[in-house]
Chain A
Amino acid sequence: MWRIDEVFDSTTEESVDLGKRVEQRSKRQSLYIYGLILSTGLLAIFSMGLGSSKSLSFSKIIMIMLGLETPTDIQETILLNIRLPRVLMAIFAGAALATAGTLMQGSLGNPLVSPLTLGVASGASLGAALAIILGFSVLELPVLDNHIYSVMMDIIPNTLIVINTFIFSLIVVFIVIKLGELRGVSAESYILVGIAITFINGAIVESLVYFATPQQLAQLTHWSFGSVRRPDLTTVLFVGFVLTLLYPRLIKYSWDLNTLAIGGDDFAISTGVDPGLLRRKILVISAFATSIIIAFTGLIGFVGLAAPHIARLIVGNDYRRLVPSSALIGALLVLVADTIGGTLFAPVVLPVGIMLSIIGGPFFLYLLLSKRSGTHG
């Protein structure tokens, strides 16, 4: 029989050499991540070149970025004020929503959860409806079929709607979290309470809509489509800054989510993880990140549900890889959807929310069906 203290005696060496295999393994696993980072970067540059006014070639953008070529004033204005914020917002929105989706699916142990399920979306809609219909809104929306006006609307953020949606989605999530706790901090309570609150909010929004003028209705519909083309560069950089502050905290939860995924609450507790506390933390941080994004973009739903699953199919279920991978896949999805939506029927821009479901849906189905037996491998 061996002695336990030998295991914890740091002066003796282990005889089995696992170090090399561990290293090889982590190298192989980071290849995926590097690949995803590279493709996101390339696509971002490519997308910068596309737009309703003037297309710029891939190489030209790189030259401008490297400072080897000076852009004309118009080019500079378009790149800095329209395309850069659009591309960055697509990346931030995709990454944040996908990460929130992954963490919420993991902490609630439910593959159908997305960042919008626990009432965030309904809270945001309520906030927007209150602003638009009850007359908080100062900007009267011009008729939507006029393309130039809709572009104007995209560029000028409607501060009141933004603030309203952000605050209401946060309030609703906190209500869901508090009510969920009253019923015990189990995953199921949060989901059920979230569904109930969503219906209640939905009813309030519907009643508001019932009394809305056609213009207000049009504005609300337009808001709910979701677009990454609304915020300006300063706003986007601010959003990026806030998300960067949150992100390392989220990555840290990967270990805890792994314990939860392996053996449920009991196993997590015996490994030193408090599942109730973990859920609460993740829900609060995810809700915060999601609210910030959809306040500026409107409803972008599909990515938060699909990106985590696509990432699972590609890199497996280990959260240490899954969290960064799904963030990158989310960024890619939104970027692709927005780029195609912007070019397909140019100069008409199809909202990214619609494009995401049109392109992402079939892609998601294809992955699901083609890797059906390997879902867990």
Chain B
Amino acid sequence: MVKQSTKKGSKPLVEVSNLNFAYGQKKILSDISFAVEPNCFVAVLGINGTGKSTLIKCLNKINQIKEGEVRILEQSIQDLPINELAKKVAYVPQNVSTSFPIDVYDVILLGRRPYLTWNVGESDRKIVAKVIEKLKLEEFAFRKFHTLSGGEQQKVMIAKAIAQQPKVYLFDEPTSSLDLFSQYDILSQIKGLVSDESNACSAIVAMHDINLASKFADMILIIHDCKIYCYDKPSSALNISTISEVYGVDAEILTNEESGSPIINVLRPKKEE
């Protein structure tokens, strides 16, 4: 079992050590330790209900951890007030099912909330305007958030996250209910964010689709039976025995000729022996 595979040299953005988490008596995560380097797209995989979302939520205090430690930029999140943490970590929920009518512009402006003392300043408006420009959201800016499509909403949430100026982006199944175009659009945006060398950010993304993870992620973290099953590059992490053991299916592994990343072709559910 691979516990940790970080290169020496650059300081990790996120360090999780010996994290345990349970909802009441039900154990969800056990002895989770890993580190995330700058400019890294980490896909968190695992079957349904395995604690992908739980892990993501442990990293920004949505879930209060009692055992283990999470450090962001070498600072334990236990010591950080929620407002300070929001300047370092931005979280994009799976979907925001709201009927609350608020302009897209104001949703993105909420990203500046951790920095506000009393009211919105000129610099905050400028940042929001630039994020809108970069993500090409001009035509939505003054529409109501809840009237947008799922993909558009997700993009607005990414814009809001960028406005928070974080070092770590957390995504909880960002593409799970989106059409094909939006899936690739959103993941490309995330990939763009973390590959930007001018800004040492990383993204930790809970995902469903193994092939999308293989295509976009730099590292794959698989959670199985409450533990980290493996944490490695896609080409090493995604092999026939892993797929069989974690997902319970027989598969063949093809190779993407362009990028060399593995493509998983599921053949059949694994036969009981």
Contact = CB atoms under 8 A, between A and B. Distances in A.
A266 B89 CA distance: 13
A220 B73 CA distance: 62
Interface in A267-308: 267, 269-274
B230 interface: no
A14 B199 contact: no
Interface in A318-377: 318, 376-377
Contact of B132 (A16, A265, A377): A16
A14 B123 CA distance: 11
Interface string B123-152: 101111111111000100110111000000
A258 B108 CA distance: 12
Nearest to A260: B100
Nearest to A265: B62
Nearest to A12: B130
A15 interface: yes
B133 A274 contact: no
A273 B138 contact: no
A68 interface: no
Interface stretch (B2-10, B12-20, B110-118): B110-118
A8 interface: yes
A183 interface: no
A22 B93 contact: no
A272 B145 contact: no
B198 A271 contact: no
B24 to A, nearest CB: 12
Task: Classify the interface of chain B: helix, strand, loop or mixed.
Answer: helix
B110 A259 contact: yes
Given A5-B199, A262-B145, A266-B62, A273 B93 contact: no
Nearest to A15: B133
Contacts, number: 134
The bracket for how many chain B residues form the interface is: 35 or more
A146 interface: no
A362 to B, nearest CB: 26
A7 interface: yes
A1 B113 contact: no
A377 to B, nearest CB: 6
Interface residues of A, number: 39
Interface in A1-41: 1-8, 10, 14-16, 18-19, 21-22, 25
Interface string A243-272: 000000000100110110111011101111
A316 B142 contact: no
Interface string A157-201: 000000000000000000000000000000000000000000000
Contacts of A18: 105, 125, 128-129, 132, 138, 141
A259 B111 CA distance: 10
Interface string B28-65: 00000000000000000000000000000100111000
B82 interface: yes
B145 to A, nearest CB: 7
Given A22-B125, A270-B62, A263 B199 contact: no
Given A258-B110, A270-B62, A376-B101, A7 B82 contact: no
Task: Classify the interface of chain A: helix, strand, loop or mixed.
Answer: helix
B185 interface: no
B193 A21 contact: no
B100 A261 contact: yes
Nearest to B84: A272
A317 B101 contact: yes
Interface in A136-160: none
B102 interface: yes
B162 A270 contact: no
B193 A4 contact: yes
B83 interface: yes
A266 B57 contact: yes
Given A4-B193, A14-B129, A18-B141, A377 B86 contact: no
Contacts of B193: 4
Nearest to A267: B93
Contacts of A376: 99-101, 146
A261 B111 CA distance: 15
- When A and B form their complex, which 8 residue pairs have the shortest distance between CB atoms, in order from nearest? A272-B86, A270-B91, A272-B114, A14-B129, A272-B83, A4-B199, A5-B198, A274-B82
Interface of A: 1-8, 10, 14-16, 18-19, 21-22, 25, 252, 255-256, 258-259, 261-263, 265-267, 269-274, 316-318, 376-377
20 contacts: A4-B193, A7-B130, A7-B162, A10-B126, A15-B133, A18-B125, A18-B141, A21-B141, A258-B102, A259-B113, A262-B102, A267-B93, A269-B62, A270-B89, A270-B92, A271-B111, A273-B83, A317-B102, A318-B106, A376-B99
Given A1-B196, A2-B192, A273-B82, 19 more contacts: A3-B199, A15-B133, A16-B138, A18-B105, A21-B141, A252-B118, A255-B110, A258-B102, A259-B113, A262-B98, A262-B102, A263-B93, A269-B62, A269-B91, A271-B110, A272-B87, A272-B113, A272-B114, A318-B102
